[in-house]
């Protein structure tokens, strides 16, 4: 049984993939390893990869170079399959254009229906996201519990 969530299309295209749900904003420069797509910035999703995923996030954060860093993911084969955002801005729109990936804007309440691991279909033409399968239903708490702890005192740049 699937559920379709209606929003607003930002960039056209249709793709299916596994959802990676971020509760926070998605950065550009320094946010991820451009070779692997692994998120490296301080985030509950640190260590997860955006490569091939349908990435759900609040909005883009950072400078106008945001789309350039996301385009670098495409050149290395580590780009996401689609963007689904709660609040669109010019960075998200330009990022979707340079990557040529579907993008949809959903409100916060509707985006909360999707969990990491769900299999979804994003339709940028119609502005919809269809939840096809419940997937692994990995929660943010599970992501945090699975990460090794770090002594921040030994990492002064992460304070």
Of residues 7, 22, 5, the one with CA closest to residue 59: 22
Q: Which residues contact 60 (CB under 8 A, 6 or more apart)?
A: 25, 26, 27, 28, 66, 85, 89, 91, 92, 95
Q: Decide if 49 is catalytic.
A: no
Q: How far apart are CA 97 and CA 158, in angstroms?
A: 32
- Per annotation, catalytic residue among 2, 49, 63, 88: 63
Look at residue 110 and give its three-state secondary structure.
Answer: helix
Q: What residues are labeled active site?
A: 63
């Amino acid at each position: 049984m699937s559920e379709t969530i209606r929003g607003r299309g930002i960039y056209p295209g249709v793709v299916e993939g596994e959802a990676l749900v971020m509760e926070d904003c998605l950065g550009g420069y320094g946010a991820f390893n451009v070779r692997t797509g692994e998120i490296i910035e301080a985030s509950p999703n640190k260590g997860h990869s955006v490569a091939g995923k349908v990435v759900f996030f609040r909005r883009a954060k950072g400078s106008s170079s945001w789309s350039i860093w996301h385009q670098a993911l495409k050149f290395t084969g580590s780009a996401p399959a689609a963007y689904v955002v709660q609040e669109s801005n010019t960075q998200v729109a330009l990022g979707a254009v340079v990557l040529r990936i579907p993008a949809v804007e959903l409100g916060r309440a509707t985006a909360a229906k999707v969990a990491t691991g769900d299999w979804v279909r994003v339709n940028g033409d119609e502005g919809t996201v269809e939840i096809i399968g419940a997937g692994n239903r990995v929660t943010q708490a599970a992501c945090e519990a699975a990460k090794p702890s770090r002594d921040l005192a030994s990492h002064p740049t992460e304070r």
